[in-house]
Structure 1
């Protein structure tokens, strides 16, 4: 009798270990996907070393994808291939300390794509030795901002085509990857990163339906307005922040502002990366806001509808611009 009871208890215990009974009758629509950004990187070295760094446990860095260059002598294959190193649903270690559009820890929310690409750089020098600045605005920070001196070759066209096809596939899988969610490493970490650099073909990607780019007529219109009406540092900082850049609103043209402006120009005005907020850079910035984040234009929203064509520049109500001007002619005035 006792043996029979023991056998029954054992059978009951074993049946209870068969798995948790989960009810799937109900569901919620209150969720979203982890992946909302794509971050573009360059490896700064050849294919063999890039693969070692991104896969060897000795190096605390990784990316979801690696795309080689046919121009790289390290790449032995005659066929272009995209290498997936980390599954999409896992968190790769590619972004580091980063932020974009008010969100931090971009590693948690992004796909990282590394391109094998080698700029030719030499020792780091002060910006004062390499870039023409507005002395009245940046005397106090020139010696703080350090940049390497680099020559940037063109990207391999086959590599860029593979990138285009990969991003298209990722956008199909993850609809939260909108145009302004495809960013450079330097966009999300402007204080410490410069990749993929000023030769990366952002405009070409936009022509392929990928990423953000501004309307040229809008940029010209805003440029004409700002050429004769200065903006305060606070307004420029707020506009950069509203577009997505991680920047504190200090009202001063400080080190962080120079770094963010440099990252912005590498992305959207690569033919002249000088860290200065001139009328052209400001025009491009506000054209981007008008196109992608019009609710963030603030008082300039009253001007934006007039910026339709470069041939018919508007007569701007001066009281609108006056509200944006700096209160005095000090280094706070950064757009001349």
Structure 2
């Protein structure tokens, strides 16, 4: 048994349960999708991401939030700029992070993927802490979900091209994969 993830929940994460999830149709995890998010756009360290994923975002807090009213979305994890790991949905359940999507000819990526949000934007460099926590989390997920491996990791932009751009040009894929390799991933 993996010491960090049990029953789909990460023991070191701050748990912030979302109502926006449902059961996976096949209980299969075979992909990892990397996203970015900031609310308001470009602002970090605020409580609004938790509010969005928990369905209690105060849409009057910022004019840009009006378009988010009633939106039901979630991710499995968020990695904040300081490296804090937050979990909203058990990895054994289907979070609502990918939207209309396709990976290797298979639609509805929420059915079989884990969604990890990085607090950031397409054009702001991610922090060292975020890369370290993401690499550690990825390896822990590999240990729990045997169908998941490095070839099954993509950005939101890859599964929803033309609709999504995250994690953006600021995400250093080489750095991330190097961290995985240095820690023993294949």
User: What displacement does 1:54 show?
Assistant: 1.3
**2:95 aligned with 1:95, yes or no?**
no
How many residues align? The count is 138
2:178 corresponds to: 207
Task: After superposition, give the CA deviation of every residue in 1:101-131 in whole Å (9 maximum; x if it has no partner).
Answer: 1111000001000111135xxxxxxxxxxxx
CA distance in 1, matches of 2:172, 2:147: 22
1:116 corresponds to: 119
Cα pair 2:95 2:110 within 8 Å, conserved: yes
1:42 corresponds to: 36
2:67 corresponds to: none
Which runs of 4 or more aligned residues in structure 1 lie more than 2 Å from their structure 2 counterparts after TM superposition?
44-47
Task: After superposition, give the CA deviation of every residue in 1:246-288 in whole Å (9 maximum; x if it has no partner).
Answer: xxxxxxxxxxxxxxxxxxxxxxxxxxxxxxxxxxxxxxxxxxx
Structure 1 vs Structure 2 CA RMSD: 1.7
1:64 corresponds to: 76
CA distance in 2, matches of 1:167, 1:209: 8
Cα pair 1:33 1:174 within 8 Å, conserved: no
Larger RCO (alpha carbons 8 Å, 6+ apart): 2
**2:50 aligned with 1:51, yes or no?**
yes
Question: Structure 1 regions of 5+ residues with no counterpart?
Answer: 1-31, 71-79, 120-151, 211-336
TM-score when normalising by structure 2 = 0.69
CA distance in 1, matches of 2:101, 2:124: 27
Rg bigger for which structure? 1
Task: After superposition, give the CA deviation of every residue in 1:67-91 in whole Å (9 maximum; x if it has no partner).
Answer: 1113xxxxxxxxx421111011111
Cα pair 2:156 2:167 within 8 Å, conserved: yes
**2:168 aligned with 1:168, yes or no?**
no
SS of corresponding position for 1:204: helix
More off after superposition, 81-90 vs 201-210: 201-210
TM-score when normalising by structure 1 = 0.39
SS of corresponding position for 2:32: strand
1:191 corresponds to: 162
Cα pair 2:77 2:116 within 8 Å, conserved: yes
Question: Structure 2 regions of 5+ residues with no counterpart?
Answer: 1-25, 57-69, 182-186
